[in-house]
Amino acid sequence: MSKQRLSSVQCLRAIAAMAVVAYHAAATIQIHGWKPGIVSHAAAWGWAGVDIFFFISGFVMVMTTAGRDRGLGAAREFMAARIARIAPMYWLLTSLMLAIVWIAPGLKTTEFTLMQAVTSYLFVPYEVRESGSYYPVLYVGWTLTYEMFFYAVFAVSLCFAERRSRLVLTVFFAGLSILSLTRPSAYIFRFLTDPLLLEFIFGCVFAWAYRSGFRVSRRTSAVIIAAGVLGFCIGTPSSDMAHRVIFAGIPAALLVAGVILREAAGGWKGSDLLQQVGDASYSLYLLQAFTIPAFARVLTGADKLRLLPGDLICLTLVFASVLVAALVYRIVERSIDIKVRAWIRSYRQASDADHVALVKQTARVTQRDRGM
């Protein structure tokens, strides 16, 4: 993928992350007694930012692995790269959340079990029995359990030839979604058969079409984008994942596909600011679990009579979260990413050197044996 083509994806990541933050910010202001306004009501659809992220993940994974070597080695390298990208910041902030609960339990109303902490670090879904859902210690990390599961299956598909891997991915996730019709009671099976996983395949299918040369005119791309927006408008927010795929997953797919196709048609005018927010979108998504409660606590004390408009508070929480995320991205996330990548490169070089040395040693032994 070229830098130009990625600009629209980065902007969409920014929009998706801010939408999710706005959703949680809108819920927070109502909990604290501010009256919601137009912005807060519109933010009720903000959770659909997750659906945008899932589609983008499927699209990007196909595009970035296309034309590369296949096989067990490729699968191993892919999975190592994804863990190196996702895990460090998530583990760091999960540890911070656990430290807060331990040091200052009054700041959190939730208690975590040892098993919940362990499964959080392993990206394994943990059932919160009170709600029947699966939330890790860092609650926004529930989406990462889906991401990691998708990455694991995608890595397996890299062991096959490219065309066959498409069949493996599609049949596997479609089959799991069909199994969801049986409404399994065990939470791990509810997770594995969640129709939400189809949104990754939506992104993969679009990437396969895009790589095959599928393009549309600017006008058609605008219609696709409008259809996606309209889909959000006429749909109804639902906690039922099967309905979510219809009312959020499909509109998200149309929106993202339309924007990418519009850029390919030369009709996209990206925003440098949005791209910068997109770069920090991972930090923004994770940090909202800290920034929203922290700034809400400050604003609660500053506006004890709740005289300020709820929309102003909501926007303030979003803006403050973006600023903190931008700083953390520059100071922490980017630094960690660079160091982890450097460590992986050095490890690969050392492994390659050991392999070469082993081959040479084997060759010398073989020649010596033949000369005897």
Q: What is the mean pLDDT of the chain?
A: 89
Report the distance separating Cα 176 and Cα 263, nearest Å: 34
User: 183-201, pLDDT tens digit by residue?
Assistant: 777 788 888 899 999 999 9
Which residues are 62's β-sheet partners?
none
Terminal-residue alpha carbon distance, the chain = 55
pLDDT above 70 as % of the chain: 87
Residue 146 belongs to domain spanning: 3-371
Per-residue pLDDT band at 304 (split at 50, 70, 90): very high
pLDDT at residue 269 in the model: 78
Give the C-alpha separation, 145 to 135, whole Å.
Answer: 9
Q: Dump pLDDT digits (tens) for 233-271.
A: 887 665 556 688 999 999 999 999 999 999 999 888 788
- Per-residue pLDDT at 2: 47
Tokens encoding 252: 């998200």
The answer, as to whether pTM is greater than 0.75, is yes
pLDDT value of residue 60: 97
User: Which residue(s) pair with 133 in the sheet?
Assistant: 128
Give the pLDDT confidence of 319-328 residue by residue, as tens digits.
999 999 999 9
- Residue 34 to residue 28: CA distance in whole angstroms: 9
By CB neighbour count within 10 A (0-12 exposed, 13-18 middle, 19+ buried), where does 334 fall?
A: middle
pLDDT for 4 equals 44
Per the model's pLDDT, the better-predicted residue between 348 and 127 turns out to be 127
pLDDT at 350: 62
Residues constituting the chain = 372
Q: What is the pLDDT of residue 243?
A: 81
Q: Which of the four pLDDT bands, split at 50, 70 and 90, describes residue 17?
A: very high
* Confidence grade of residue 3 (pLDDT, cut at 50, 70, 90): very low
Tokens 């980065």 identify what position? 10
Q: Give the CB-side neighbour count of residue 252, counting CA atoms within 13 A.
A: 34
Contact between 20 and 43 under an 8 Å Cβ cutoff? The reply is no
| DSSP character string of 124-176 | ---EETTTTEE--SSGGGHHHHHHHHHHHHHHHHTTS-HHHHHHHHHHHHHHH
Confidence class for position 127, pLDDT limits 50, 70, 90: confident
Letter for the amino acid at 128? Answer: V
Query: Number of folded domains in the chain?
Result: 1
Distance of CA 99 to the CA centre of its chain: 24
